[in-house]
Amino acid sequence: MSGKTLKLIKDDPWLEPYASAIEGRHNHAIWKESELTQHGAKTLSDFASGYLYYGLHHTNDGWIFREWAPNATAIYFIGTFNNWEKNESYRLKRIENGNWEILLTEDALHHSDLYKLYIEWEGGASERIPAWCRRVVQDEKTKIFSAQVWNPDKPYKFKYEKFIPKVSPLLIYECHIGMATEEEKIGSYEEFRINVLPRVSRDGYNAIQIMAIQEHPYYGSFGYHVSSFFAASSRFGTPDELKHLIDDAHKLGIAVIMDIVHSHAVKNETEGLGRFDGTPYQYFHSDSRREHPAWDSLCFNYGKDEVIHFLLSNCKFWLEEYRFDGFRFDGVTSMLYYSHGLGENFTNYGDYYNGHQDDDAIAYLTLANRLIHKVNPTAITIAEEVSGMPGLATKFENGGYGFDYRMAMNIPDFWIKTLKEKKDEDWRPSSIWWETTNRRPDEKTISYAESHDQALVGDKTIIFWLIDANMYWHMQVSDNNAAVERGMALHKMIRLVTASTINGGYLNFMGNEFGHPEWIDFPREGNNWSCKYARRQWNLADNSDLKYHFLEDFDKAMLKLIRNVRNFQATPIQKVWDNDGDQILAYMRQDLLFVFNFNPTRSFTDYGFLSPVGKYTVVLNTDAKDFGGNNLNDDKIEHFTQSDPLYESEKKGWLKLYVPARSALVLKRK
């Protein structure tokens, strides 16, 4: 087969010079799947069932535990049941392929018992938390982590097992369970289920993307330094409570996407996989590639079948055990390149096919997507990837890596750069149009105005860049403040132009829809372990005397508009007009006309441009009183195109509108 026969290349002739490289990666993934499935003797799903074999399992005869530790010379099962002491009756037996096993009687272990492994190897020994364990807890006094037996008498049973996401378009509410509470503490799965899920549903989002699910020793890592890949973080509650949360989300029609971290692992040895069996290379690289130069973490060796087995099984586990509806893969750029993308420019196609790419990691990501969609055909996969690697979100059979979406990471970068470096009068609609619509036509993207990273200490959210300290003193509805009015106007416009130009989906980070003030600062030694800034102040948006609710009300109206158009994300988007001098941008999607005036001072009367002939009525206005605007337009007025003989054959006429400064209108053509 020639690489030029792949649809990825047919759709983009500029990729033809790299056809052999694209074909090579494609065939490498095919070969790897064939090798892992014993040339078709079993399925990829069969291969990815390690979680059913390894770890602790309750059986009809008692308990069985297995672990893979090829360098170990002896392994002991220790815990609260034997006073954490080495005991020959709890010594594991070595079986084939570096695996270890122990059979225990029914009364040897009980629900909530704590346990670890004591692993010995040539020249050393240490306690370890099992790699495949499903529950890890931290002692409040000693801060020590241990695995925990989880075998409740009445485990949670799903009520909505065959949930099918209706995500056209995909509207994601990105969230963090621990900081979703208003109190100065770590929030729980139960609190999120009861208090936040209904809010997400009311606001119009059809998916939540949950961060920090996989267990991590340091809370402030935002969940990105994972130690136990199969354990749902116990900081937020029990496995059953997480299942209840997911079940209730499905009841509300909300898909649940997990932020999964397979790009690296925490360096910790007593909590994580570092030197698990005494070797530095069991799961990770053994050379200079072992440690991530920027993240202070360990890099998986995707060339080892055992590592692929571990990670693919992890994908299937979260789908099967918890009924997650898909994954947002973190740090994909770091996986794709030997350099982790650090110091790379990615200015031309040659940068994607210059031999600096990790073909083993590419094969793993490809197989992960194939597995996920085989286990659950309606599952959603999203790649967080900054380099722009072609084919990432293209179907495997077309030559791609199989993700359903990729993050449009250029858009939040553009908005922050604009806010930091440009005066309002220097904003260019042509640049805004380019950044929000510049993407590969064969790949769906998730557009978003700002990332969760921008909410952390050391950076600023969009609302904070716009309003800054004025948020502390001038957010009362009765207070007229120029900085606040400017900030709220641009906050709405930025979100509208970002959300209305999607070709796949739209994402918002929890609280940013109403302009949550201040930064995120997780509890740490430097702030006396305070949760004051690691929470969400929902009361601000619920207080009718404050202006925050105007932003949330607009966000809700914007999403309702988008959801009311069938397959909105797939409708053609056509630029109608842009003028950098006037700072006006207009475009259409089906019968919706979006008109933006980014000019900070000039309002335009009878501003005209050619539009499809018809009658237009205003269906959304960022300047409306209901959204905290100046209400300068009469939205009840109907607008008619004026005929022009020169454009009658094109069925176009002149539409003339009053467009106030710093405002946007959405009109519907009838």
Residue where the block lists tokens 């959801």 = 563
Helix (H, G, I), strand (E, B) or coil at 257: strand
Cα gap 317→340, rounded to integer Å: 27
What is the number of other CB atoms lying within 10 angstroms of the CB of residue 140? 6
pLDDT of residue 2: 46
Query: Which of 546, 531, 537, 549 minimizes the C-alpha distance to 473?
Result: 546
**What is the chain's alpha carbon radius of gyration, rounded to the nearest angstrom?**
27
pLDDT tens for residues 339-379?
Answer: 999 999 899 999 999 999 999 999 999 999 999 999 999 99
pLDDT of residue 453: 87
Q: Is 291 exposed, middle or buried (0-12, 13-18, 19+ CB in 10 A)?
A: middle
Average pLDDT over residues 507-526: 94
Which pLDDT band holds residue 162 (cuts at 50, 70, 90)?
A: confident
Which pLDDT band holds residue 1 (cuts at 50, 70, 90)?
A: very low
Cα gap 375→318, rounded to integer Å: 11
Helix (H, G, I), strand (E, B) or coil at 203: helix
pLDDT tens for residues 120-138?
Answer: 999 999 999 999 999 999 9
Helix (H, G, I), strand (E, B) or coil at 499: helix
pLDDT at 178 exceeding the cut of 50: yes
Edge to edge, the sheet with strand 652-659 lists: 604-612, 652-659, 642-643
pLDDT tens for residues 482-514?
Answer: 999 999 999 999 999 999 999 999 999 999 999
Average pLDDT over residues 306-331: 98
% residues pLDDT > 70 (the chain): 99
Q: Which helix (H) or strand (E) holds 77?
A: strand 74-79
pLDDT at 152 exceeding the cut of 90: yes
Mean pLDDT of all residues belonging to the chain: 96
pLDDT tens for residues 441-475?
Answer: 999 999 999 999 888 877 889 999 999 999 999 99
At 263, the amino acid letter reads S
pLDDT of residue 459: 82
Average pLDDT over residues 476-482: 96
pLDDT at 426 exceeding the cut of 80: yes
User: Which positions are catalytic?
Assistant: 330, 384
Question: Tokens at residue 438, please?
Answer: 């510049």
pLDDT of residue 4: 60
